[in-house]
Amino acid sequence: MADSDLKRLMKNLEESINEAISDAPGIEKAIREIKEAGYEVVLVIDATIGFKPTTGEQRDSLALEPGRDEPVRLKITPEDAKFLKSLKISVDKDI
């Protein structure tokens, strides 16, 4: 995969994360309440995402059928859960 393709995919991921966070009702409500209390809000979330090439066989096993949506499973550490809770984001135990 060309660097430009990877950069495009990374940009798509960044935009998707931003949309998910900004559209989350709990976050929107919490920010609105802080603003109504007379404070300015600056929200910075740091995400570390690593990439490494896979073999052709691994890529085939990871490929999804076109138009098929599957849930994404995340590994959330206790620190992650604590941080999300501080933002009033509930974490499903099945993640």
CA distance 54 to 20: 27
Assigned token pair, 79: 């620190």
C-alpha distances (whole Å) from 14 to each of 24, 37, 61 are 16, 30, 25
Q: Taking the complete model, does pTM exceed 0.75, yes or no?
A: no
* Tens of pLDDT, residues 24-52: 888 888 988 999 999 998 887 777 777 77
The string of pLDDT tens digits covering residues 40-86 is: 988 877 777 777 777 666 555 555 555 556 666 667 788 888 888 88
Three-state secondary structure call for residue 41: coil
Helix (H, G, I), strand (E, B) or coil at 72: coil
**Cβ 91 vs Cβ 76: under 8 Å:** yes
Helix (H) or strand (E) holding 10: helix 3-22
- Which tokens belong to 89? 């984001």
